[in-house]
Amino acid sequence: MTAEPLLRELRQALRDGGLSGSFLVRDLRTGDELGIEPDTELPAASLVKVPLAVATLDRIRRGELDGAQQLEVQPGRVTKPGPTGLTRFRHPARVALDDLLYLSTSLSDNAAANALFDLTPPGDVDAVLRELGIRGIAVRHSLAGLTGTPDEHLPPDAADLAHSLAIGAGTSGHGHRLPQLDVTRANAGTARAFVDLLQALWTPSAVHPDVAARVRSLMADSVQRQRLAPDFSSDAATWSSKTGTLLNLRHEVGVVEHDDGAVFAVAALTESRVPAAAQPGAEALMAQVARELRDHLRHG
């Protein structure tokens, strides 16, 4: 199948599944790529933890921060399903900076990420991206900026209402009445920009090799394996990634490294029109679309 019929088929599958979004797969050996709306900007949610890790590790490398430094982190005390790590703690904890990086990136712990943002504010993380030549990702606020959504103020059995509000309050240009979902106010990015960041981490670039290696390791240790991992992990392939989830947004960006030497960067940023919190079908669909894009690049 040539690329255009495949893209039409995948776009239709996304529409039928109630999804839209920004997809891009790039062969990191050849530079060949294939995507669906790869320049559509969407709120980044927890994907922002990857540039946060890059900026923090670069400051450690330069001696501005000490990875062994112990920080007292206030507990998140979140009891609703979903959040992990310190975000669910009930009491303050002392945690080393290096371990906060693991919690933030591999476990997607918002409390750990906020502690890192206290040391390297969003504007500084954004500046690091620009210094590295990464365009198209905007870092505007910490993970504390993701609080206050309808999902947090409504009872658990009203998740469909929270998602309905998220779906219905947006504009065609991805503005939104909820600041967390407005691309002009939220942390935001495109599939292309995140693939550019992945390429900078997996191939020689302005990112220092030690920094890139640690970020790759943190992403390889991700515990979130329910989204794209089933379609990209195998005994003959390694999948390293970061997910992002907020209301009707479901994202994942990562790199699949095959035993035969093939390496592909993958970005799938999606928003759902289905008002439901649990959507395993949507996660399977976004993985299927990303896999078929990769398969076309790999096998033609």
Report, as an integer, the average pLDDT of 175-179.
Answer: 65
The answer to whether residue 134 scores a pLDDT higher than 50 is yes
CB proximity list for 246: less than 8 A, separation 6 or greater: 43, 45, 46, 146, 149, 180, 181
Pick 174 or 233 by higher pLDDT.
Answer: 233
Q: Is the pLDDT of residue 37 over 60?
A: yes
Q: For the chain, how far is it from start to end, CA to CA, in angstroms?
A: 8
Cα–Cα separations (whole angstroms), residue 240 to 30, 40, 65, 222, 257? 20, 23, 26, 7, 9
Residue 168: per-residue pLDDT:
54
Task: Answer for the pair 49, 105: CB distance below 8 angstroms, yes or no.
Answer: yes
pTM of the model: 0.91
Which of 80-84, 149-153, 252-256 holds the top average pLDDT?
Answer: 252-256
Question: Which range is least confidently modeled, 128-132, 145-149, 205-209, 268-272?
Answer: 145-149
The rounded distance, in Å, linking the Cα atoms of 192 and 23 is: 8
* Cα torsion 62, 67, 70, 75: sign: positive
CA angle 284, 285, 291 (to 5 degrees): 90
Report whether 70 contacts 95 (CB < 8 A).
yes
Highest mean pLDDT among 101-110, 140-149, 167-176: 101-110
* Percentage of residues of the chain with pLDDT beyond 90: 76
Q: What's the mean per-residue pLDDT of the chain? A: 90
Strands 188-189 and 237-246: unpaired
185-223: pLDDT as tens digits: 899 999 999 999 999 999 999 999 999 999 999 999 999
Residue 211 dihedral angles phi and psi, to the nearest 5°: -65, -50
**CA dist., res. 266 & res. 284, Å (int):** 15
pLDDT level of residue 160 (50, 70, 90 thresholds): low
